[in-house]
Structure 1
Amino acid sequence: MKLAEALAERAEAARRVEQLRARVVSGARYQEGETPAEDAAALLAEAGEVLETLETLIRRINRTNAAVEMGPDGTLTDALARRDTLRLRHSVVTAAADAAAGAGGRGHVRQLRSELTMVSALPVAELRAQVDALAREIREIDTRIQRMNWEVDLLD
């Protein structure tokens, strides 16, 4: 099985656990004299089985990610950490640029002469260029990660 297939199975198992959790919660109590729509105990047992499968998948995925070398990016785990921090950095710099630009990019406009002028504390154009560079770097590393996901076999 390829790593990408295991990732898809992991996502499906996580969705299944959440669905089972919701069904267990809704059927955990019922009115006396009525029959519950579903057997909460059976659903709970099924959730336990899916969780065991999920744990096995997660262990194998993590083991594979830590073992696969991606050249200058280090291991696949290193590349994932880099991508995650790049996404956070992108979010922070985007928020800073948006705030410095003001609401709708109109941070320097006054309605009346008596109003104070808002001045940007940050260089908006430089921040926007940085945001673009970060977005490009995220796309590039994400492409390398996706390629590895389809090329690498899942370890036991």
Structure 2
Amino acid sequence: MKLAEALLLRAEYQTKLENLENRLLSNLKIQEGDSPNEDPIVLLSEMEATNRKLTELVKKINTCNAREKLSDGRPLSDALVDREALLKERRILATLVGRANEQDYRVSRTEIKMTVTLSVKELQSRIDSLSKEYRQLDTELQGKNWTVDL
């Protein structure tokens, strides 16, 4: 199994767990005299089995991510952290640019005038740079995921 396939399976297990949780909650309490739509014992057993499978799969993925390296020698696990940091910084800067571009509405000259304390042009340039860096790293990670065996 390729790493990319394992990542898809992980997402499937996570979705299944969420679904099982909702189904368990829906069948947890019923009106006296009624019967549940689904057997909560069976659902609970399925949830536990799915969670065990997910746990084992995540361990294998983590081991693979620590073992495999990108072209620059960085372990995949480090590159994933770096990719997340790029995305987080980009989101924060984009929020700043959005706020800086908001219109201030003043009815009269006596109302408080707001000024922007950071250069929107420089922030936007940094966002563009982070976006490019993120795309390049993500592309390399995605490519590696389809070539590496779990």
TM-score (norm 2): 0.93
What amino acid is the match of 2:55? Answer: E
Q: Does 1:140 align with 2:136?
A: yes
* Alpha-carbon distance, 1:23 to partner: 0.7
Distance (whole Å) between structure 2 residues aligned to residue 28 and residue 114 of structure 1: 61
What amino acid is the match of 1:146? Answer: Q
Deviations 1:2-42 (CA, angstroms, capped at 9, x unpaired): 00000000000111111111111111121222221110011
Map 1:16-95 to 2 at 5 A.
16-72=16-72, 74-95=74-95
What amino acid is the match of 2:15? Answer: R
Distance (whole Å) between structure 2 residues aligned to residue 147 and residue 122 of structure 1: 37
What amino acid is the match of 2:125? Answer: A
What amino acid is the match of 2:92? Answer: V
Distance (whole Å) between structure 1 residues aligned to residue 73 and residue 120 of structure 2: 30
Distance (whole Å) between structure 1 residues aligned to residue 113 and residue 35 of structure 2: 68
Query: Residue 149 of structure 1 corresponds to which residue in structure 2?
Result: 145
* Alpha-carbon distance, 1:110 to partner: 4.8
Pairs aligned (count): 150
What amino acid is the match of 2:69? Answer: E
Q: Does 1:112 align with 2:104?
A: no
Contact 1:83 1:142 in 2 (8 A): yes
TM-score (norm 1): 0.90
Question: How many percent identity over aligned positions?
Answer: 37
Distance (whole Å) between structure 2 residues aligned to residue 56 and residue 10 of structure 1: 10
Q: Pairwise CA RMSD of aligned residues? A: 1.4
Distance (whole Å) between structure 2 residues aligned to residue 131 and residue 43 of structure 1: 46
Distance (whole Å) between structure 2 residues aligned to residue 72 and residue 110 of structure 1: 53
Residue ranges of structure 2 left out of the alignment (5+ in a row)? none
Partner secondary structure for residue 30 of structure 2: coil
Contact 1:3 1:149 in 2 (8 A): yes
Residue ranges of structure 1 left out of the alignment (5+ in a row)? none
Partner secondary structure for residue 61 of structure 1: helix
What amino acid is the match of 1:18? Answer: E
Distance (whole Å) between structure 1 residues aligned to residue 56 and residue 113 of structure 2: 59
Distance (whole Å) between structure 2 residues aligned to residue 33 and residue 127 of structure 1: 63
Partner secondary structure for residue 115 of structure 1: coil
Q: Does 1:126 align with 2:122?
A: yes
